[in-house]
Structure 1
C-alpha cells in the first residue's frame, strides 16, 4: 500500500464517526488558553457581510457552533465534509440555530463548484489528511474569486511533543506519523501554499494542558491508534495506562503543549 492510500485509509477510519475527533477536542478543554481554538480561528477569518464561504472538513461544525453569534446574517455559508456521519453530526448541532448554512458532502480534491464561486474557503486541521494535497489546493484556488482568501490551520512539528516522546518509549508514534499524514505543518505550510496563493500570513496558537486523571489522556491516545497496524496498540494499552498512572503519582499532572497555526493566503487578483 502506497503512502497516499494509507493517508486516505486513515482519514476514512478516523472520521467514520465523530468519537475520535471529540476525544481529541475534549483534551484541549483542560487548556490554559482562555480563548478556545475555534474562537481564535474565527477571529482571524473575519467574515464580511454578503461573502460566500465554503468550509472543507467541517467535522462536527464546532467552528460555527462556538461563534454563531458573530456570523453575519447576510453571508452565505456552505460547510462540508467527506464523511457523511460527520456532516450529519454538524447538521444536528447547527440546524436548530437557524444560521445561513448549507451542508454538502465534498471531497477536497474534487470540489464540485464552478470557477470563482467563493470569497473565502476554510480548511481547519484537515490538509494533512488529504492524499494529494496539490490537487486539493488547485481545486481551492480554482473556486476562489480573485483576491479571495484561503484560511487553513494545522499543527507544529512540536505539537504535543511531550506525548510523542512518551509514546515513542512504546514504539507507537514514529510509525504512525510516517504512514498516515502528509507534510503540511506550521514549519512547512508557507512552502506548500506558495505555488498556489500570494500574500501568505501566519499566526500561531499555543494551548498548554495539565491532565490530572488517566481517562482524558487515554481517550486521546486511543483515538490516535484506531487502525495502527504495527506495533499493535492494543498489546501496549495496559502498559501505557500504567505508565501514565506512575507519572501522575509522581508529578500529579501530565503536561502537553498544543501548538497550532493558521495560514491566511489570497488568490492573486487577475487570475
Structure 2
C-alpha cells in the first residue's frame, strides 16, 4: 500500500475540497486542445441509447456530475465516500449519495453507464470495486474510467527530490485489469500540461498531495507534462 490507496491518507485528502481544487486549477488541455474530462463525457454520450441511467463513483466536487446531468435523457446518481463532496455535488442539483465503491448500494444491472474519474487508484480493494462496477452495469453497459500514467508529473517530482508513486490502476495497467471483466476495452491517451505561473503555485500543488516534497526556488513560470488515459470498457 502507498499513499494513493492508504485509507487514512485518502480520507484526509478529501475531507474538504481544498487539496483537490488546488490540483485541478493547474491543468490545461493537450497541445491540440483536448481535455480529459470532455473526452470522458464524449465517451459517456456515445454509450447512451435513449433514456439511460448513469452512475458516477467518486464524484468529487460535482464538476463532472453536473456535465453528465446535462446530457439529454440521462438520469444520474453520483456517489462519493466523502460527505463534504456529496454535499457539494448535491448543491449542483445532482442526486448525490454517500457510498463506497466496494459496497455499492444498488441492485444488479441498475445502470447503463458507470463513470469513475481519477479514483480507482485510491480504492483499498480494486478487485472488489471492479466486481461491483460490473455487477451494477446492465448487460452491454459501458464503464468509462480516467486515470493517470506512471510518468504523470514525473519531472516535477524529480525536481523536488521525490518520485511518482506507482499506482494500482494506471495508464499502463488499466487495460489489462479491465480486460479481465470486459470483452471490449478501448483507450484514449492524452498528454496534458500542468502550468505553474510561479514557484509558489508549484509548491502549493506539491503541498496538496501531502508528500512533504520541497521544490527548489525558481524564477518565472514552469510547465510540466501530464499523462492521462480515458478507458471505455463494455
TM-score calculated relative to the size of structure 2: 0.90
Cα deviation, 1:137-162, whole Å, max 9, x if unaligned, reads: 01111111111111111011111121
The 2-side partners of 1:217 and 1:35 are apart by 23
Q: Which one of 211, 217, 230 corresponds to residue 244 of structure 1?
A: 217
How much has 1:37 moved relative to structure 2? 2.9
Structure 1 unmatched ranges of 5 or more: 96-100, 267-271
The 1-side partners of 2:41 and 2:5 are apart by 31
Q: Does 1:221 align with 2:221?
A: no
Q: Give the aligned partner of residue 193 of structure 1.
A: 178
Q: Give the aligned partner of residue 43 of structure 1.
A: 42
How much has 1:31 moved relative to structure 2? 7.1
Aligned 8 A contact 1:113 1:143 in 2:
yes
Q: Give the aligned partner of residue 11 of structure 2.
A: 12
The 2-side partners of 1:35 and 1:149 are apart by 22
Q: Does 1:78 align with 2:63?
A: no
Change (3 A) 1:48 1:17: farther
Q: Give the aligned partner of residue 260 of structure 1.
A: 228
Structure 2 unmatched ranges of 5 or more: none
Secondary structure of the 1:39 match is helix
- Aligned residue pairs: how many? 232
The 1-side partners of 2:232 and 2:96 are apart by 24
Q: Give the aligned partner of residue 163 of structure 2.
A: 173
Bigger Rg, structure 1 or 2? 1
Aligned 8 A contact 1:153 1:261 in 2:
yes
Aligned 8 A contact 1:127 1:133 in 2:
yes
Q: Give the aligned partner of residue 127 of structure 1.
A: 120
TM-score calculated relative to the size of structure 1: 0.78
